[in-house]
Amino acid sequence: MTVMIDGKKTASQIQSELVNKAQALKKAGLTPCLAVVLVGDDPASQVYVRNKHRAAQKIGIKTKDIHLPKETSQAELLKLITELNSDPTVHAILVQMPLPAQIDAEAMINTIAPEKDADGLNPTNIGHLFMDDPRALACTPRGIMTLLEKYQIEVAGKEVVIIGRSNLVGRPLAALMLNADATVTIAHSKTKDLKKIARQADILVVATGRAEMITKDHIKEGAVVIDVGINRLADGRLVGDVAQGDLDGYVSYLTPVPGGVGPMTIAMLMQQTLELAEKSR
Distance CA 90, CA 32 (A): 7
Choice among 117, 119, 202, 227 that is catalytic = 119
Choice among 52, 62, 116, 158 that is catalytic = 52
Closest CA to 245 of 227, 261, 263, 228: 227
Check whether 166 is labelled as a binding-site residue: yes
Q: Examine the residue annotation and report whether 119 is marked as an active-site residue of this protein.
A: yes
Distance CA 91, CA 183 (A): 35
Distance CA 152, CA 137 (A): 21
Choice among 96, 244, 271, 272 that is catalytic = 96
Distance CA 171, CA 178 (A): 11
For 22-29, the CB contacts below 8 A with 24+ separation are 22/59, 22/60, 22/61, 22/274, 23/60, 25/274, 25/277, 25/278, 26/60, 28/281
Q: Examine the residue annotation and report whether 87 is marked as an active-site residue of this protein.
A: no
Helix (H, G, I), strand (E, B) or coil at 231: strand
Check whether 50 is labelled as a binding-site residue: no
Q: Examine the residue annotation and report whether 193 is marked as an active-site residue of this protein.
A: no
Respond yes or no on whether the N-terminal peptide bond of residue 258 is cis (omega within 30° of 0). Answer: yes
Helix (H, G, I), strand (E, B) or coil at 66: strand
Closest CA to 202 of 251, 263, 150: 251
With beta carbons less than 8 A apart as the criterion, state whether 279 and 115 touch: yes
Check whether 165 is labelled as a binding-site residue: yes
Distance CA 174, CA 194 (A): 17
Check whether 230 is labelled as a binding-site residue: yes
Catalytic residues: 52, 96, 119
Binding site per annotation, positions for NADP(+):
164-166, 230
Binding site per annotation, positions:
164-166, 230
